[in-house]
């Protein structure tokens, strides 16, 4: 009988391969992970990389979302307070304009509206974590300041008109701010009309025509503030929806990654047992070849 001269070499190579497979299965069984390198399963490894990248993007958005949610909540609360203050000022002005108050009461209303003016300016300078939320892109600059160097006093805006956005992993852009000049210095200046009303009632004698016009202007300014607040509210709604969707996606991706990476321990244990059996058989054959017994049989 003719014997393959490479028979022993082939057996040794098969034994090495079996031992390598056995080592991989042992590692897989102990770690619970199907593969540890790209070469073991390139397709699954590639899918895992893509899922990890998406999970990282989702994590980054979740962290950013958490920070800007607080900022939007502060902005919404501040504008809600501004709306309340302006509504109060309109109510006071309407009372003063009806012609039934004495001079002292009219002046008292002027003083109250002056207080509203101060409170609104304070709210317009609201900050969150050290950043001024109505300064546009100039978040480290106090946006509004009133100078008494002129008569009447003037309120100036030191921010800019920049609008900031947060982009979700799927490309949606969510507006994060409304610049203060759009809110308080629109078609009608909130500060300007409040100052006019203070002046209207300073003497105690009301020019009803002028005061009524200023009251109507304040109503228009209030409408502008309310409209800008809607923008903030819409952003909060969009952010909540996007955050919820991302949280769901993160859960799904984590489950998919676990299924992709997790070893089927029962199957691995069976494969390991078969590999050990094959290793034992190969070692037995090689041992017999070394003793000559199998060679004699092949020659026989």
Q: Residue 228 belongs to what domain range? A: 67-233
How do residues 178-207 score in pLDDT, each as one tens digit? 999 999 998 899 999 999 999 999 999 999
Q: Would residue 268 count as lying in a domain?
A: no
Q: Would residue 200 count as lying in a domain?
A: yes
Q: Would residue 224 count as lying in a domain?
A: yes
Q: Would residue 82 count as lying in a domain?
A: yes
Backbone angles phi, psi at 33, to 5 degrees: -110, 135
Q: Would residue 59 count as lying in a domain?
A: no
How do residues 212-270 score in pLDDT, each as one tens digit? 999 999 999 999 999 999 999 999 999 988 888 878 877 777 776 666 655 545 565 56
Q: 150: domain CATH number?
A: 1.20.1330.10
Check residue 176 and report its DSSP letter.
-
Q: Would residue 273 count as lying in a domain?
A: no
Check residue 185 and report its DSSP letter.
B
DSSP of 93-157: HHHHTTS-S-HHHHHHHHHHHHHHHHHHHHHHT-EETTEETTSTT-TTS--EEEE-SSSS-EEEE
* Count of structural domains, the chain: 1
Q: Would residue 86 count as lying in a domain?
A: yes
Nearest to 177 by CA among 217, 126, 222, 215: 126
How do residues 69-128 score in pLDDT, each as one tens digit? 999 999 999 999 999 999 999 999 999 999 899 999 999 999 999 999 999 999 999 999
Cα–Cα distance, 95 to 113 (Å, whole number): 12
């Amino acid at each position: 009988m003719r014997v393959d001269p490479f028979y022993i070499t082939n057996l040794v190579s098969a034994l090495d391969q079996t031992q390598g497979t056995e080592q991989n299965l042992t590692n897989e069984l102990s770690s619970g992970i199907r593969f540890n390198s790209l070469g073991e399963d390139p397709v699954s490894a590639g899918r895992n990389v893509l899922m990890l990248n998406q999970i990282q993007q989702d994590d980054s958005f979740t962290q950013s979302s958490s920070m800007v949610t607080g900022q939007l909540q502060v902005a919404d609360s501040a504008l809600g307070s501004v709306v309340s203050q302006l509504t109060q000022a309109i109510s006071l002005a309407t009372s003063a304009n009806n012609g039934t108050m004495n001079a002292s009461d009219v002046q008292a209303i002027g003083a109250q509206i002056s207080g509203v003016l101060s409170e609104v300016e304070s709210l317009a300078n609201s900050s969150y974590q050290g950043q001024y939320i109505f300064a546009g892109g100039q978040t480290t600059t106090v946006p509004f300041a009133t100078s008494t160097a002129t008569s009447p006093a003037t309120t100036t805006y030191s921010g800019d008109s920049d609008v900031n956005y947060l982009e979700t992993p799927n490309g949606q852009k969510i507006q994060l701010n409304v610049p203060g000049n759009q809110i308080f210095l629109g078609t009608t200046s909130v500060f300007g009309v409040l100052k006019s009303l203070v002046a209207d009632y300073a003497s105690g004698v009301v020019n009803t025509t002028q005061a009524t016009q200023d009251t109507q202007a304040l109503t228009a300014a209030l409408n502008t503030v309310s409209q800008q607040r809607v923008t903030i509210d819409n952003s909060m709604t969009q952010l909540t929806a996007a955050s919820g969707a991302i949280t769901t996606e993160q859960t799904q991706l984590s489950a998919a990654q676990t299924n992709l990476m997790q070893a089927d321990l029962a199957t691995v244990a069976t494969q390991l047992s078969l590999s050990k059996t094959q290793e034992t058989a190969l070692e037995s054959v090689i041992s017999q070849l070394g003793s000559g017994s199998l060679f004699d049989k092949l020659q026989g």
